[in-house]
Amino acid sequence: MEEEFVIEDRVIGKYRGDQPGKLFLCVAGIHGNERTGIIALQRVFASLEEHKPSFAGRMIAVAGNLTAIEENTRYIDIDLNRIWNKEQIDEINKTEFEDLDCNEHREMKALMKQLDTFTFVDTPRNIVFVDLHNTSAAEGMFTFTFEGETNYEVASALHIPVITGLDKSLQGTAVEFFAKRGYCSLAFEGGPLGDPKSIDIHEAGIWMLLEASGCMAKDNIPNYESHKELMQSNTEDSPDVVDLIYVHNIKEEDNFKMNPGYRNFQRIEEGEVLGQDVNGDVKAPHAGYIMMPLYQKQGDEGFFITQDPQGN
């Protein structure tokens, strides 16, 4: 992907349908080096504007961490996707913009203000919130969501593994914040960082989600079958639903280094040596599937472990 990538406006696109329906709200680039969601959303809006299909509701997409997007880095001062809790957001909102020392606090204030201008007219259960991400490991895509029939129904339309239990193991994510508000809320990890194929995956997934949210009929979605095939073809060997059971939290001084070669959904054994830190070998505390092994400099988690409902 080209290095030069400037977003002029936090709003990536807005499309108002010809019929009443859901507010389909997307955020991309909460992590600034995860640009494929932004490009995919630009493609979807370009197609909607060109074809003007029948659409129930509205679609709005917003960019997350503008400063980090411009610098193509995960974040500037702190991870913007670990500070979504009510107390912290209230504190940020109370503080004048100029008095916020942390870049991500300023981004949060501006982003929340923008999102609130779109969401205040809808009841929470009329809103579908989708947060687009990439992983630093090769291959593997999946979606995070929460208990609740609508969440599962919409998330499973992606035809990729659904991961639950995020709320128990990882605090302060945007998806959890909006799930608590009562939105149908999911994060969509659409393939590796910077891979052009991840743009296609994100685009295909957005169309699938628009159908599942009742915004569009599949007959009105361009290349519907090929989008669906792309989603299905990538995850043939992956489990349908897994539960997040462990997050390996790290600090900079840990000097954590993941051993090379791990992929999302690779099986690991209990006690397997996954990496090294200042104290020596870092071993897997549980057997299961490894997720999001850290292969980039920035990050507060070294790896995640999930298990399927049978405990495998």
- Kindly list the residues in this chain that would bind Zn ion in the complex (CB under 5 A): 31, 34, 133
Residues ≥6 apart with Cβ < 8 Å to 227 = 203, 204, 207, 208, 221
**3-state secondary structure at position 37:** helix
Q: Name the residue nearer to Zn ion (CB basis): 34 or 301.
A: 34
The CB-nearest residue to Zn ion is 133
Residues ≥6 apart with Cβ < 8 Å to 293 = 136, 137, 258, 262, 263, 264, 274, 302, 303
Nearest distance from residue 173's CB to Zn ion, in Å? 10
Nearest distance from residue 34's CB to Zn ion, in Å? 5
In angstroms and rounded to an integer, the radius of gyration of the C-alpha atoms of the chain is 19
For tokens 């071993």, name the residue.
283
- State the chain's maximal CA–CA distance in angstroms: 60
Q: Name the residue nearer to Zn ion (CB basis): 68 or 268.
A: 68
Contact 218, 139 (CB under 8 A): no
Task: Say if strands 241-249 and 301-307 run parallel, antiparallel, or are unpaired.
Answer: antiparallel
Q: Which helix (H) or strand (E) holds 21?
A: strand 19-28
Q: 266 pairs with which residues across the strands?
A: 290
Q: Which helix (H) or strand (E) holds 210?
A: helix 196-212
Nearest distance from residue 69's CB to Zn ion, in Å? 12
Structure tokens at 115: 């999102």
Q: Name the residue nearer to Zn ion (CB basis): 165 or 214.
A: 165
Q: Name the residue nearer to Zn ion (CB basis): 48 or 291.
A: 291
Nearest distance from residue 215's CB to Zn ion, in Å? 24
Rounded CA separation 233/225 (Å): 12
Q: Name the residue nearer to Zn ion (CB basis): 31 or 58.
A: 31
194: left (phi over 0), alpha (psi -120 to 50) or beta: left
Contact 53, 43 (CB under 8 A): no
Q: Name the residue nearer to Zn ion (CB basis): 36 or 119.
A: 36
Nearest distance from residue 120's CB to Zn ion, in Å? 26
Q: Name the residue nearer to Zn ion (CB basis): 137 or 216.
A: 137
